[in-house]
Amino acid sequence: MNLKSSNSSFSAESIQKQGNGFLGVEWGTYIKAFFGGNAFVAMFVLALITLFLFKEGVGFFPQYRKDMELYRASGQEFVGLLKTELDDYDELQQQLGKVQVSILTDLYAEGKEWEEVTALTAPFQASLDQTSSAADPLRQVVKKAIDITSEAKEAVVVNNTRREITGVDLTTLMNEEQSAAFLKSSREQIIAMMPEIEAANDMFLENLLAAQEAMPELNLSPDAKKEMLIYEKGLKTFLDSMTKFDDKLAKYDPEKPFTFLQTLGGFLFGSQWTTNSSWQDFYGIWPLLSGSLLVTLVALSFAIPFGVFAAVYVNQVASSSEQNIIKPYIEFISAIPSVVIGFFGVAIFGTFIRTLSEQDFLAWVPFFPISERLNAYTAGCLLALMAVPTIFTLAEDALNNVPKAFTEASEAMGATRWQTIWRIQIPSSLSGIISAVLLGFGRVIGETMVVLLCAGNQIAVPELSKGLGIVFEPVHTMTGIIAQEMGEVVPGSIHYRALFCVGIFLFFLSLLINYIAQAIVRRYKISAG
Amino acid sequence: MIDSDSSLEMFRHRRTPAKSVQSFFFWLFRICTYIIVLAASTLFIKIAYEGSITIFEKTFPFVNVGFFTQSPQTLYVFEWDDAMLTESKLEAVAAVEAEIRKEIPEKELFFKDAIVTAEAQKAETLNELALVRADINRVKKELKQVQRKEDAATKVIEKLEAKQQRLFDRNAPEAELHQMRNEIIAGLEARKAIFREKAGIEEERANLASMKNQLSAQLPEALEIESKRVLDNLQASLAWPEPGYFEKQNAEEAQIQAEFDGKELKLEEKYSYLVDRATAKAEVLFTEVDPEDPETKLAWLKAKLSLKKAEDRWAAKLEKLETERKLALTNARSFQAGDTEYRGVYARKAEAAGVNVKSYAYSGGGIFPAIVGTILLTVGSMTIALILGIFSAIYLSEYAKPGKVLNLIRLSIVNLAGVPSIVFGLFGFGMFVVFFGWGVSLAAGCFTLAFMVLPVIITSSEEAIRAVPQGFREGSLALGATKWTSIRTNVLPYALPGILTSSVLGVARVAGETAPIMFTAAYALRDNLPWEGLDKPTDFFVQGVMALPYHIYVVSSKIPQNEYTVRMQYGTAFVFLLIVACIAFTSILLRIRMRKLYKW
Amino acid sequence: MSNESISVAAPQSTRPASDTSAAKTLIEVDNLDFYYGKKQALCDINLEIPEKLVTAFIGPSGCGKSTLLRCFNRMNDLVDVAHIGSGSIKIHGVDINSKNVDVIELRKRVGMVFQKSNPFPKSIYENITYGLKIRGIKKKSYLDEVVERSLRGAALWDEVKDRLHDSALGMSGGQQQRLCIARAIAVEPEIILMDEPCSALDPIATAQIEELIDELKTDFTIVIVTHNMQQATRVSDKTAFFYLGKLIEYDDTARLFSNPDNKQTEDYITGRFG
C-alpha cells in the first residue's frame, strides 16, 4: 500500500524558514504582540484604578491636617469642648421635655381641662424653666468665644483662599507668619477668658444643683416614671462628665501640633462625619463604618443560615426535579438589579416591617413599634436576599466537590444521610463554605443602592445602649455616603478627597476579604484522589 | 437454619433517634429553601403585578405604547368642581377658542412668508453660519492658547514664590526680597492681563454660540419644523374641550355615584340580614341563660361575639367602599395630560376655564430615553470589555510565560472582581469625568462599566480557554499548525460557549448596575434623545444619557411621592427587571445548551 | 532467571525480520543533554535511528524516553522551562534545533500520535483533513481522496466509511487512536512519533494498532515509546533502553531482548525492576 502521493523529500531546504512575515519578523510574533498589547492595556487600566484612587485620595490627609491645625490654632477646638458640654446639656433638657409631655398626656387622658392641668403642673414647669436657664451664663460666655474664634478662623481661611487664587495685590494679604500671629492673638483672647469661663461653669453647676433640689415631688404614671428614670440617669452621667470636663479644659494645650498620626486616627476613628458645617467639618469614618457593619451583620445573620441550609438541602436532600428548578431559580435571584431590590424596600418592605411592628400581638417585643420604616434592619433583610445566591452557589459547589468516596464510605457503614452530611460532608466542605460566607460578606458590604435607598441615611454611630433595638436605627454606610455626596462635591476639595479615602478603605477591605477567602480555599482544598 | 421471620425482623424499619434528628433537620432545610424562593417570588410577583397595571391596557393594543415611546414628563391633572365652571368661565374658554381660530391663518401666513424669505436667503444664512462656526472654532483654539498661557504664568509665579520662600529661609537681605516681591507682583499683573483676555474670549464665544442658534433657527428647514409644531398645537387645542365635555364628565360622575350607591345598598341588604339574625339569636339565648349552667352563658357570649364580628365586617366593607368611591370620583373629575400636551394643547384654555391644575414631576410620559440610554451604555461598555477582556485572556492563558508575575496578575484580577461597584464609580468619576474632562458623559459611563466587568470577563474567559484539553493544542501543533492557527481552530471554538456565557452574565451585570453610572453618565432628565441636537458626531459620546436603573432611583427617592409617581416607579422597575431577567435567562439557557453540545 | 521471562522476551512475531543493518540512518542524535529548568532529563544521548523501520524506546517511568521523542518534532518548545543543553539532533543531516529551521515545517514532516487519543471534537472527516486545510488545501476531490487513503492506511475505512461526518468523539478508544494515526499520515510525514499509543487501550484494540504499525513501516519511519516490553518485541526492529536519562543500550530488538549486553537491561527486561 502506498500512502504517499509524492515523494516529498526531507531536506535542509524544506524545513528552512520561509519568508512569511513582515519586515523580517514572523506573523506569529505580531499576533503575540497584538494580544500582549491588549493584555497590557487591560492590566495597565486595572493598575490605574489603584493608582488613581490613591492620587485623589491621599491628598486628603495633609489637607485635613491643615484644617485641623487651623481648628486648633484658632482656639475653636477649645471652645468646641465647651460647645459639646452645652450640646449634651441640651439633649438632657430634651429628655426632661419628654417627661413633661408624658405627664401632660396622662393628665389630659384623665379628662382634665387646660386650666386645671396648668395649675397642677405649675411647680414642675417652674423647675423646668430653672433647669434650662441654669446654663445661661455659660452659654453667653461660650457664644462670645465662638464669635471670636470663628471670626479669626474665617479671616485666615479667606486670606488663604485669596492668596491661592492671587490676582489680588499681595501686600494687602497676610503671609504665613502674620496669619499665625493673628490666630495666636485670637487664642490668647480665649485663654484670657479662662477665669470667666471657669466662673460661668461653676455657676452652671450651682444652678443645676439648685434646680434639681427645687424639683417638686411628682406623682408619676409608669410611662412618665420610665422617662424620668432615663433623665436622672443621664443627669448623673452628665454631672460626672462635668468634673472630667474641668480636667480636660485645664489640661488643654492649644500650642500642641496636630500630628499626622492624629489625622489618620481622626479619619479612622473619628465619630463625626460633618460636612458643609458653619463651625468645622469633620471627616471621621466610624459612623459610616459602624453603619455598614451593622447592616452587614443583619444581612449575614439571615443569609448565612438560609444560604447554607438551602445549599445542603438542594445538594443532598432535594429530588432531582426540585434541584433542577430551585438551583437556577436561586442563581437567578443574583441577577436582580440592586436598585430594584432597593426600590422594593422603599415601596413595600419598609412599610411592611413598620406595620408589622405596630401590631398588638408583637407589642411584647421591647423596641416595637419602630419609628422609622427605613433602617438597618430593612436594608439588612434585603441585602440578605442579595447575599443568599452568592453563599448558596459557592457552598453548593463546595458540597459538590466532596469526593463521592467519602460519602459512600460513610453510608456503607450504616450512617444515616444526616449523619453523613453532618460528620463528613460539611466538615470536608467547610473551607468552601467559609469562603462562600466571606464572599457574601464582601458582596454585602460593597453594595450601594440598597443601603442608599433603605438604610435611612442618618449619620450617627448606632448606640449600643439600645440593645437589640439597635438594628432598627437608621444608619448611613460607606457606600451610601459616596453615592449620596459624590455628585455634589467640588473636585479637588477636601470633601471630595475624603470620599476617595472612604473609597480606598472599601477597596482594601474588599481586597482583604477576597484574599482571605481564596487563601482559605487554597489552603484547605481536599484532593479528590 | 435461620428462621425467615426473625431475619425479616432484623431488617425491619425502626424509629431511631438518629432518624428523628435527620427528619428534623431535613425539614428545617426544606423550609429555609422555600422561604428564599418565596421571598424572591414575592418580589417578582409584586413588581410584576403593579408594573403590569402601568404597562398593559384593557383596550387595543393592550400595551401602553406611550410608556415605551415617550420621554418622562410632568403629569398635569385637572380637577374642577361644578361651582367653578360658571357660565362666565365657559364663555372665556369660548373666547380663547375664537382667538385661536383667528390665530391659525395668521400664523400660517406668517410662517409661509418667513419660509419663503428664508429660502431666498438660505445660501446667505448658510454662509454666515459657516463663518460663525469657523469663528467658534477659532475662538476655541484661542481659548486653549490663553489657557496654556495662563498655566505657564501660574507656573512662573509658583516658581517665583518658591524662590521667595527660599530667600526667606536663608534670611536674604531686604533688598533682594523686595526685588523678588516686585517680580512676583509683575507676574501677577501679567496673569491678570491674561485673565482679562480670557474673559473677553469667553464672552465672544458665548455671543457666537447665541448667534449660531439664531442663524440655525432662520434656516427654512428649522422654520418648517417650527411652523408645523406651532400649527399642530393650535389645531389640537381646538379639539379640547369638545362640546359638552364637562357635562359628560359630570354625567360620568353621576353614574359612578349611582353605581356605588347600588353597591352600598347591596351590602346593607346582606349585612343587615346577618346582623338582625345574630341579634335575634343573641336575644333568645339571653333569655335562656341559666346562672347555674355555664354552658348556656357561653353560648350567649358566643352569639354576641358573632354579632359583633358581623357588625365589624360590615363597617370595614363600608369603609373600603367609601375609599373606592372617592378614588373613582376623583378620577372622573380629573383629567391627565403630559408635559408637552399640556403646554401645547390645554394650557391656554385650562387657564381660561380656571380648572385646578396640579403638576406631578416625572409622573407622565414614558421611559424611552432611559431604555435607549441603558442599551447604549450596555453595548458600549460590553464592546470595550469584550475586546480587551477576551484578547487579554488569550494572551494570559496561551502566550504569557507562567511564573510568579503571571500568578500575581491572576491574583490581582480575581481580587479586583470583588471590588464594590461604587469604587469603580469613584474611579470613573475621578478619571474620566474630572481628570480627562469628559464631564458626565456616555463615554465616561461606558469605560467605567467596562472596567468594572473587565476582571470578571478576563477570569471567566481564561477559565474557559484553559478548560479546553491540552491534547487539542498538541494534536494540532503536531500536524504542523502554527500556534495562532491552533488557537484559532482548536481552542477558541471550544472555549467560545464558556466565554459567551460569562459575557452574557456580564451584560446582565452591566445593565443592572447603578452605582458606577450615578455620577459618570446618568442624567435624571434629558429632553433630547442621544442622537438629537448634535453639533458634530463626537458629541454623541460626550453627552450624558438617561438610564433605567438611575431613573428608578430618582423616581423612588428623589422626588415627592404620590399615587401617579408610584405607577411610574412600578412600571419602570418591571420593565427593567424584565430586561435584565431576559438577559440572565438567556445566559442560563445558553449554558445548559452549550454543556450538552460540547462535551469532551 | 525464570523460564517465563525468557518466553516473554522471545520474539513472537511471525513477520520476516527486517534487515536493520542495511537501512539508511534518518535521525541522528549526538551527545544530547536536555534540561527541565535545572533538572537534567537526558544525559549525553547518542543514537542513530534508521529509515523505514520501527524503533522502540523502552524504560521505566521518568527515564526520559518520551522527552527524547518529543525532541524529534520539538514539541518540548511548548514547555517553557525545557531546553537543550548541548548536542544536536539531525534529521537527514539537518540540525532541527538550528535557528533557521521552521518548527512548523518540521512538524509537518514529523507527525506525532499521543498517549491519550486526542481527536478534535469535530467530525471524522474534518479531523483528517485538518492538517491539509491549515495548509490551505481546499480541493474537495483531493481531500476526499486523502481521507479514504488515510483511513484505509489506518485500517479504519471499513468501520467508519458510512459515518464520516459524525463526531469523532463517538468512536471507541481504539478507533479514536487509529483516527489520530490516520490524521497524522494524512499530511504525509516522513516520520511518525508514537508516544505510548496503546497505553489506554484494551488488548484487542492494541493488537489492531500493532498490526497497523507493522503495515505503516513500509512508508514511514516510526519511533514508538512503550511501556510494554512484549509490544516492543512484537512491533519494533530496533530497541533503545533508557534508564535515568541515559541511553543504556541500543540494538536490534531480537538481540537486545535475547542477549542484552548490559546488566541493567537484563534486569529490566526480566522484570527485576521498573
C106 vs A: CB within 8 A? yes
pLDDT at res. C7: 41
pLDDT at res. A292: 93
Q: Which of A17-21, B430-434, C233-237 has the lowest mean pLDDT?
A: A17-21
Q: Same domain, yes or no, for B458 and B561? A: yes
Residue position matching grid coordinates 409608669: A222
Q: Same domain, yes or no, for B167 and B310? A: no
* pLDDT mean across residues, chain B: 84
Q: Same domain, yes or no, for B254 and B120? A: no
Residue B269 in any domain: the answer is yes
Q: What is the value of ipTM here, to two decimals?
A: 0.83
pLDDT at res. A441: 92
Q: Which residue has the higher pLDDT, C101 or B146?
A: B146
pLDDT at res. B193: 87
pLDDT at position A167 over 70: no
Q: Which residue has the higher pLDDT, A343 or A43?
A: A343
Whether the CB-CB separation of C145 and C186 falls below 8 Å is answered with no
Q: Out of C100, C190, C220, name the one closest to residue A16 (CB).
A: C100
* Neighboring chain C residues of B402 at a CB cutoff of 8 Å: 80
Cross-strand partners of C30: C88
Q: Which domain holds residue B144?
A: 112-238
Q: Out of C118, C120, C187, name the one closest to residue B480 (CB).
A: C187
* Neighboring chain A residues of B409 at a CB cutoff of 8 Å: 43
Residue B378 in any domain: the answer is yes
Contact B425 A486 (CB under 8 A): yes
Contact C121 B600 (CB under 8 A): yes
* Neighboring chain A residues of B38 at a CB cutoff of 8 Å: none
C155 vs A: CB within 8 A? no
Closest CA to A341 of B315, B353, B197, B43: B43
B405 vs C: CB within 8 A? no
Q: Which residue has the higher pLDDT, A331 or A131?
A: A331
Residue B9 in any domain: the answer is no
B542-572: burial string, b at 16+ Cβ within 10 Å, e else: ebbbbbbbbbbbbbbbebeeeebbbbbbbbb
**How confident is residue B447, by pLDDT bands cut at 50, 70 and 90?**
very high
Residue B100 in any domain: the answer is no
Contact B423 A506 (CB under 8 A): yes
pLDDT at res. A176: 67
- Overall average pLDDT of the A352-367 stretch: 83
Q: Same domain, yes or no, for B322 and B273? A: yes
Closest CA to C177 of C199, C158, C149, C159: C199
Q: Which of A93-102, A150-159, A350-359 has the lowest mean pLDDT?
A: A150-159
B407 vs C: CB within 8 A? no
- Overall average pLDDT of the B247-270 stretch: 86
**How confident is residue A296, by pLDDT bands cut at 50, 70 and 90?**
very high
Contact C80 B401 (CB under 8 A): yes
> Which range has the top average pLDDT, A359-363, A373-377, B9-13?
A373-377
Q: Which of A151-160, B197-206, C30-39 has the lowest mean pLDDT?
A: A151-160
Q: Out of C92, C150, C219, name the one closest to residue A11 (CB).
A: C92
**How confident is residue C19, by pLDDT bands cut at 50, 70 and 90?**
low
Round to whole Å and give the CA distance between A523 and A392: 21
Q: Out of B43, B451, B553, name the one closest to residue A49 (CB).
A: B451
Query: What DSSP string runs through B417-456?
Result: TTS-HHHHHHHHIIIIIIIS---S-HHHHHHHHHHHHHHH
Q: Out of A56, A347, A510, name the one closest to residue B556 (CB).
A: A347
B294 vs A: CB within 8 A? no
pLDDT at res. A2: 53
C30 vs A: CB within 8 A? no
pLDDT digits (tens, 9 = 90+) for C57-69: 988 888 888 889 8
Round to whole Å and give the CA distance between B144 and B198: 10
**How confident is residue B38, by pLDDT bands cut at 50, 70 and 90?**
very high
* Neighboring chain B residues of A314 at a CB cutoff of 8 Å: 33
Coil/strand/helix, residue B385:
helix
Residue position matching grid coordinates 492557527: B485
Round to whole Å and give the CA distance between C12 and C54: 16
Residue position matching grid coordinates 414647669: A125
Interface A:B, Cβ pairs < 8 A: 270
Residue B7 in any domain: the answer is no
**How confident is residue A486, by pLDDT bands cut at 50, 70 and 90?**
confident
Contact B469 C118 (CB under 8 A): yes
Percentage of chain C lying above the pLDDT 90 cut: 4
Q: Same domain, yes or no, for B457 and B585? A: yes
- Name the residue in chain B with its Cα closest to that of C110: B478
- Overall average pLDDT of the A196-215 stretch: 77
Coil/strand/helix, residue A422:
helix
Domain total of chain B: 4
pLDDT at res. A13: 64
pLDDT at position B39 over 90: yes
Name the percent of chain A in helix, strand, coil, to the closest 5.
75, 0, 25
Number of H helices, E strands in chain A: 21, 4
pLDDT at position B448 over 50: yes
**How confident is residue C6, by pLDDT bands cut at 50, 70 and 90?**
very low
Q: What is the CATH number of the domain that holds B166?
A: 1.10.287
Q: Which residue has the higher pLDDT, A12 or B27?
A: B27
pLDDT at res. B151: 84
Q: Out of A170, A446, A447, name the one closest to residue B185 (CB).
A: A170
**All domains of chain C, ordered by start, with CATH?**
22-269 (3.40.50.300)
* Neighboring chain B residues of C169 at a CB cutoff of 8 Å: 599-600
pLDDT at res. C13: 44
Q: Same domain, yes or no, for B208 and B118? A: yes
Residue B435 in any domain: the answer is yes
Whether the CB-CB separation of A207 and A134 falls below 8 Å is answered with yes
**How confident is residue C21, by pLDDT bands cut at 50, 70 and 90?**
low
Q: Which residue has the higher pLDDT, A324 or B538?
A: A324
Between positions 2 and 41 of A, the ones with CB within 8 A of C are 2-6, 8, 10-12, 14-18
**How confident is residue C16, by pLDDT bands cut at 50, 70 and 90?**
very low
pLDDT digits (tens, 9 = 90+) for A17-55: 665 666 666 777 888 888 888 888 888 887 888 888 888
- Determine the distance in angstroms separating the CA of B572 from the nearest CA of chain C, rounded to an integer: 46
Q: Same domain, yes or no, for B206 and B270? A: no
Chain A: touching chains (3 or more CB pairs < 8 Å): B, C
Which distant-in-sequence residues (6+ apart) come within 8 Å of B541 by Cβ? B441, B442, B443
- Determine the distance in angstroms separating the CA of C146 from the nearest CA of chain A, rounded to an integer: 9
Q: Which of A130-134, A353-357, B112-116, B547-551 has the lowest mean pLDDT?
A: A130-134
Q: Which three cell numbers stand for residue A274?
A: 460633618
* Neighboring chain C residues of A1 at a CB cutoff of 8 Å: 152-153, 215, 218-219
pLDDT at res. B374: 92
* Neighboring chain A residues of C157 at a CB cutoff of 8 Å: none
Contact B577 A343 (CB under 8 A): no
Q: Out of A332, A416, A514, name the one closest to residue B415 (CB).
A: A514
**Which residue out of A10, A20, A26 would a mutagenesis test of the C interface target, given it has the greatest number of C Cβ atoms within 10 Å?**
A10
C152 vs A: CB within 8 A? yes
- Name the residue in chain C with its Cα closest to that of B490: C120
Q: What is the CATH number of the domain that holds B576?
A: 1.10.3720.10
- Determine the distance in angstroms separating the CA of C257 from the nearest CA of chain B, rounded to an integer: 32
Residue position matching grid coordinates 409644531: B229
pLDDT at position B574 over 90: yes
Residue B259 in any domain: the answer is yes
pLDDT at res. B576: 93
pLDDT digits (tens, 9 = 90+) for A377-391: 999 999 999 999 999
**Which residue out of B396, B473, B477 would a mutagenesis test of the C interface target, given it has the greatest number of C Cβ atoms within 10 Å?**
B477
Q: Same domain, yes or no, for B439 and B539? A: yes
- Name the residue in chain C with its Cα closest to that of A12: C94
Contact B475 C118 (CB under 8 A): yes
Q: Domain boundary at B338, B365, B392, which?
A: B365
Contact B515 A483 (CB under 8 A): yes
- Determine the distance in angstroms separating the CA of C165 from the nearest CA of chain A, rounded to an integer: 22
Round to whole Å and give the CA distance between A386 and C116: 45
pLDDT at position C14 over 60: no
pLDDT at position A306 over 90: yes
Closest CA to B377 of B425, B445, B467: B445
Phi, psi dihedrals of residue C272, rounded to the nearest 5°: -75, -30
Q: Same domain, yes or no, for B557 and B568? A: yes
pLDDT at position B449 over 90: yes
Q: Same domain, yes or no, for B251 and B214? A: no
pLDDT at res. C11: 42
* Neighboring chain A residues of B181 at a CB cutoff of 8 Å: 170-171
* Neighboring chain B residues of C184 at a CB cutoff of 8 Å: 478-479
- Determine the distance in angstroms separating the CA of B199 from the nearest CA of chain A, rounded to an integer: 14
A27 vs B: CB within 8 A? yes
Q: Same domain, yes or no, for B233 and B251? A: no
Neighbours of A196 (CB within 10 A): 14
- Determine the distance in angstroms separating the CA of A93 from the nearest CA of chain B, rounded to an integer: 34
- Angular region, C31: left φ>0, alpha ψ -120 to 50, beta rest: left
Contact C114 B471 (CB under 8 A): yes
Residue B103 in any domain: the answer is no
Contact A3 C220 (CB under 8 A): yes
- Determine the distance in angstroms separating the CA of B489 from the nearest CA of chain C, rounded to an integer: 9
> Which range has the top average pLDDT, A295-299, B130-134, B567-571?
A295-299
- Determine the distance in angstroms separating the CA of B590 from the nearest CA of chain C, rounded to an integer: 19
Amino acid at A282: F
**Which residue out of C96, C115, C118 would a mutagenesis test of the B interface target, given it has the greatest number of B Cβ atoms within 10 Å?**
C118
Q: Same domain, yes or no, for B537 and B564? A: yes
